Structure 1
Amino acid sequence: MVKFGGTSLATAAQFKKAAAIVREEEARHYVVVSAPGKRNKEDIKVTDLFIKATEEGQFDSMMIKIITRFRSIVRGLGLDFDLDSEIDRIRNTYRDGAGEDYLVSRGEYLAAKIMAAYLGYDFVDAEEMILFDEKGDLQYKETVARIATVMDPHDNAVVPGFYGKDTEGRIRTFSRGGSDITGALVAAAVKGDVYENWTDVSGLLMADPGIVRNPLTVPVITYKELREITARGTEVMHEDAVYPVRKVGIPVNIRNTDKPEEAGTLIVKNADYYPSILKISGISGETGHASIMVEKDRLNADSDIRTKLLQVFAQEEITVNSMLAGVDTLNVLVDEEQVKGRKRELSEKLRTAIDADKVSITDGLATIAIVSRHMAVSPGVSVRILTALAAEQINVKLLDYGVDGISMLIGIEENNFREAIKAIYSEFVKK
């Protein structure tokens, strides 16, 4: 089961690269595609053109741009493909009230139609298999069962990602990047040996390339590690795409369409059988955090106090990112934007709620998450992280070990953010 992202299908040349990858290995039976992405930094993704087409007065002008993009791809592939008939069908169906999700999903639909024609594979429409309820929530069990039934007669097929159909027969879409989910669902349903996710990067990088120059690719990472690192800002796959393949234990291989010779990153349920060169699996971080410190005698001994504090955060619509407890203190990490201009008011509400001795709010913090499946069994990993920071005279304001023993969250001042990531990376990736 292979999935190609938008950058892998942005032009006819990219379509040819993707098709060559599929043809290179006979075991690649099923293909899921995204809509064509950007051809360059100034370009607009096809999906964004369709979104603009839903705006008042924009339909005709955006459709011209969309037709031009797809016509260029069809001509570049030398295909005898009736694009005009497909566009007419889309235009008429939308004008008959098919809804915005229908129109926004047509980039994937057309890309899949074209890829199927170019490969000589069957086209299987996602609306036949991806099932949503009336609220737009995925019906997981029903979808996997339906995919297995629909795909069974097809030895080789192309499926558009990103959308399906609800119980009322209307097209529904996932959130952006949802083609990853479609690919994972198909992989799970057909019991694939591997789910290859082809994109514009050679796997998961150990650190942000905007901070660390030419960071190494992580060769192997577990599902749990991936979940931890994506929750802290690293974007590789859609978060919900991990669940279907993790549930049935199918490995995910993130590969680069432009560099198919590179192995990429393998995401597995259990990495015990793979040689481990690197002691960490990734470094991820975010700026723009604030720390709320609540102090009260024997605070941690009274569960009602925590409940009251959380009720205040809920009432104020403030999301709690992390919570650390001491004997008499509770340190809550939140997004800085959520407390901006409200520090005095929020402090008073928290103090009043539990008759706290003191409430202090500190902003300008950054968090760095280090993920490592070795952390729980090798104390040297944590020591090396803190030693690397100390060598750069970076003070740790907050420290939290994940409950699974595979991650470590560090809070520091924002002005030390980039240097801290460089220091940790350098400690584990030495010449």
Structure 2
Amino acid sequence: MKVCKFGGTSVASAQQIKKVAAIVRADPSRRIVVVSAPGKRFEDDVKVTDLLINLSHAALRGENVEEQFNKVIDRYDNIANGLGLGCEIQDIIKLDLYNRLASDKENPRIFLDQLQASGEDNLAKLVAAYFNTVGLHAEYVSPKEAGLLVNDLPQRAQALPEAYNRLSTLKDKDTITVFPGFFGYTEEGVLRTFERGGSDITGSILAAAVKAELYENFTDVDCVFVANPRIIDSPVEIDKMTYREMRELSYAGFSVLHDEALMPAFKESVPVCIKNTNNPLAPGTMIVAERESSFRPVTGISADSGFSTLFVSKYLMNREIGFGRKLLQILEDEEISYEHTPSGIDNLSVILRSHQLTPDKEARIVDRVKTELQADEVNFRSNFSMVVIVGEGMRNSTGLAARATTAISRTGANIEMINQGSSEVSLVFGVLKQDETKILKELYKEFFSPVLVV
């Protein structure tokens, strides 16, 4: 049994969904199909999820939502008409979205999740209906019915251990299961979404639950590249990589797979293959537990922006028991998670995602750190990027950090932070956002340009 997930570009139009059906038909072992919400059909198009976010915000403000409502419905109508489906599925989708809009708005976060999740949920209903019209015996299955249980607020949504046992029964179905990605339900029946791109997570959870022989993640590229092809011309392709390598690269901006999607598959040793919906015969990139050694110590280079730094300085900080715990407790009180904590003897920096901050939160944090921890200096800085070099071979390669820092120095950029995990599979550099692109290009040249033999 294979679980296959199709991303937003793979289900953005009727033509793309026809390709999905052909892919599923080509391999009878593809028994579980996870779908995202319709993505962009062209460069300036708007994703259905973004249309739904606009709709929900307008509803929460008490505005007339007819225009935003119709924009969402029009996308599904265009797909349904292009697939030759009748009005029945369109009416089902329209009624579902109307009922979600009419639901309780007392908790805006829950209301927003309800609206966003309709993108995947209604597309799954539509895809199942189409599969049946072309001879693929399929059934839409709701995450609630199947038992995709997630934790409660305010923690980030994650599947509960008992969800895997409940979902395992999907392997016994004699139909193709079409399952919406991106969301699950708490024990009390509250719908909660994963982070954006969370359909990858759903696919991995299902693959682990049914102990699939393979989890195929279909997107719009033939494989994973060692660097972003939008920045590097014709980057080297990766045919095989480990879970750890992909996890590190996904964390730092590899949008081909959500960085949380690998853990469920990893725990059950389900291999993952990144494939292209538009070129399904391409072998793709296999993600496995272990791989053969490569002559290159570095497997990939990536970068992600949108980071801020909380800098705290206090004389004799290193002698003060509990200082770090108290500092992180202040962040926890504001429901903020952190990424890295590089430190010196008398100072500590906390790297975090900027989207978690507001001017009010920053002011409260600074005031509390000064008042409660008697810090000498406290400030926030923003517009940082994290550049990550990843490779299983790095641990056995001497001088790699020196090569990387030398390459960065050639660009004239300053390194604000360096962090290497104990696994030695990755090396992280904090740099200013404005320097990100030129650093990536120079690092690619250092580690992947052909060596000229004289």
> TM-score w.r.t. structure 1 length?
0.82
1-structure distance, mates of 2:428, 2:346: 21
2-structure distance, mates of 1:364, 1:2: 37
1-structure distance, mates of 2:76, 2:265: 32
> Does 1:225 find its partner at 2:245?
yes
Q: Give the partner amino acid of 1:230.
A: S
> Which residue number in structure 2 is paired with residue 13 of structure 1?
15
> Does 1:120 find its partner at 2:142?
no
**Please, which of 385, 390, 397 is the counterpart of residue 371 of structure 1?**
390
**Superimposed CA distance per residue, residues 91-132 of structure 1 (whole angstroms, 9 cap, x where no aligned partner):** 675588598555542433333323432451321312311433
TM-superposed CA distance for 1:4, in Å, is: 0.6
Structure 1 pair 223–81 and aligned structure 2 pair: CA distance change class (3 A): farther
> Which residue number in structure 2 is paired with residue 325 of structure 1?
343
TM-superposed CA distance for 1:316, in Å, is: 7.8
2-structure distance, mates of 1:321, 1:150: 36
> Which residue number in structure 2 is paired with residue 246 of structure 1?
266
TM-superposed CA distance for 1:423, in Å, is: 0.9
**Please, which of 414, 422, 432 is the counterpart of residue 403 of structure 1?**
422
When structure 1 is superposed on structure 2, of 359-368 and 121-130 the one drifting more is 359-368
Structure 1 pair 302–219 and aligned structure 2 pair: CA distance change class (3 A): farther
**Superimposed CA distance per residue, residues 199-249 of structure 1 (whole angstroms, 9 cap, x where no aligned partner):** 123343333344333333333332223332333333332333222111101
TM-superposed CA distance for 1:314, in Å, is: 5.7
**Superimposed CA distance per residue, residues 152-209 of structure 1 (whole angstroms, 9 cap, x where no aligned partner):** 1325332222344444556554343332222112211221111111112334333334
**Superimposed CA distance per residue, residues 370-424 of structure 1 (whole angstroms, 9 cap, x where no aligned partner):** 1222222212432321232234444434322112211112234554332221111
Question: Identity across aligned pairs (percent)?
Answer: 32
**Please, which of 33, 43, 46 is the counterpart of residue 44 of structure 1?**
46
When structure 1 is superposed on structure 2, of 223-232 and 335-344 the one drifting more is 335-344
Structure 1 pair 415–38 and aligned structure 2 pair: CA distance change class (3 A): closer
TM-superposed CA distance for 1:276, in Å, is: 5.8
> Which residue number in structure 1 is paired with residue 108 of structure 2?
none
5+ residue gaps, structure 2: 106-110
Superposed, which structure 2 residues align to 1:36-185 within 5 Å? 36-54=38-56, 55=59, 56=62, 60-79=66-85, 82-87=88-93, 90=96, 94=100, 97=103, 100=111, 104-105=117-118, 106-117=121-132, 118=134, 120-126=136-142, 127-132=144-149, 135=152, 139-154=159-174, 156-169=176-189, 171-185=191-205
> Does 1:263 find its partner at 2:283?
yes
Structure 1 pair 428–416 and aligned structure 2 pair: CA distance change class (3 A): same
| Paired residues of 2:80 and 2:90 also in contact (CA < 8 A) | no
TM-superposed CA distance for 1:47, in Å, is: 3.5
5+ residue gaps, structure 1: none
TM-superposed CA distance for 1:17, in Å, is: 1.5
When structure 1 is superposed on structure 2, of 219-228 and 135-144 the one drifting more is 135-144
When structure 1 is superposed on structure 2, of 300-309 and 413-422 the one drifting more is 300-309
Q: Give the partner amino acid of 2:430.
A: G
| Paired residues of 1:52 and 1:58 also in contact (CA < 8 A) | no
> Which residue number in structure 1 is paired with residue 409 of structure 2?
390
Q: Secondary structure of the equivalent of 1:262?
A: coil
TM-superposed CA distance for 1:281, in Å, is: 2.5
Q: Give the partner amino acid of 1:113.
A: A
| Paired residues of 2:229 and 2:235 also in contact (CA < 8 A) | yes
| Paired residues of 2:207 and 2:265 also in contact (CA < 8 A) | yes
Q: Secondary structure of the equivalent of 2:389?
A: strand
> Does 1:29 find its partner at 2:31?
yes
1-structure distance, mates of 2:103, 2:370: 53
1-structure distance, mates of 2:324, 2:197: 37
When structure 1 is superposed on structure 2, of 358-367 and 11-20 the one drifting more is 358-367
Structure 1 pair 196–390 and aligned structure 2 pair: CA distance change class (3 A): same
Structure 1 pair 269–76 and aligned structure 2 pair: CA distance change class (3 A): same
2-structure distance, mates of 1:19, 1:266: 23
> Which residue number in structure 2 is paired with residue 186 of structure 1?
206
Q: Secondary structure of the equivalent of 1:258?
A: coil
| Paired residues of 1:13 and 1:76 also in contact (CA < 8 A) | yes
| Paired residues of 1:3 and 1:33 also in contact (CA < 8 A) | yes
Q: Secondary structure of the equivalent of 1:226?
A: helix
Structure 1 pair 189–291 and aligned structure 2 pair: CA distance change class (3 A): closer
Q: Give the partner amino acid of 1:7.
A: T
Q: Secondary structure of the equivalent of 2:165?
A: helix
Structure 1 pair 87–269 and aligned structure 2 pair: CA distance change class (3 A): same
TM-superposed CA distance for 1:50, in Å, is: 4.3
1-structure distance, mates of 2:435, 2:194: 37
When structure 1 is superposed on structure 2, of 327-336 and 41-50 the one drifting more is 327-336
1-structure distance, mates of 2:334, 2:87: 55
Aligned residue pairs, count:
429
